[in-house]
Amino acid sequence: MKISTKGRYALRMLLDLAEHQNCGFIALKDIAERQNISKKYLEQIIPIFNRSGILKTIRGSQGGYQLAKTPDKYTVGEILRLTEGSLSPISCVEEESTTCERSGDCAMLPVWQGLYKVIIEYLDGITLQDIMEQQRERYMNDYVI
């Protein structure tokens, strides 16, 4: 499994919104500047989150974006499934997959199913809040005497 640029940028964008949740609605240009991501690229990602209800939006000169819920309600797995589609390492273990004709004889199927389970459990166990707290701890422990 390889996470695309869209998935990585989407996580950075939503993490930026989480970090600035007390600042009201955030303009896309501000996120683009802080994250060093093209505003055009972010404009392609925004519709995914608007359709899913992850973002609140206000149009106009004072407009921008805001998370619809608190950062502890969004998991990395949820965000990546929206941007990447499936997190499955192989198509035969995808949730929507029709059973492979070889699944009864496939020695590797349990391996792929186990890997998929680990990926899902790991990514669904990390929230935007967890990432922000981890980042704060890293900065707190980064001091020079």
User: pLDDT tens-digit profile of 60-87?
Assistant: 888 899 999 999 999 999 999 999 988 8
Q: Which ranges in 38-108 belong to alpha helices (H)? A: 39-52, 76-84
11 within 8 A of 84, measured Cβ to Cβ: no
Cα separation of the two ends of the chain:
42
Of 62, 61, 66, the residue nearest 46 (C-alpha): 66
Band of pLDDT at residue 144, cut at 50, 70 and 90: low
In angstroms, the CA 17 to CA 9 distance is: 12
Tally: H helices and E strands in the chain: 6, 2
Of 4, 34, 96, 1, the residue nearest 14 (C-alpha): 34
In angstroms, the CA 42 to CA 29 distance is: 9
In angstroms, the CA 65 to CA 24 distance is: 8
The domains found in the chain, sorted by start residue, are 5-140 (1.10.10.10)
In angstroms, the CA 136 to CA 122 distance is: 21
Instruction: Provide the whole-model pTM.
Output: 0.86
Band of pLDDT at residue 1, cut at 50, 70 and 90: confident
Residue 75 DSSP one-character state: B
Residue 98 pLDDT greater than 70, yes or no: no
Average pLDDT of the residues of the chain = 90
Q: What letter represents residue 129's amino acid?
A: Q
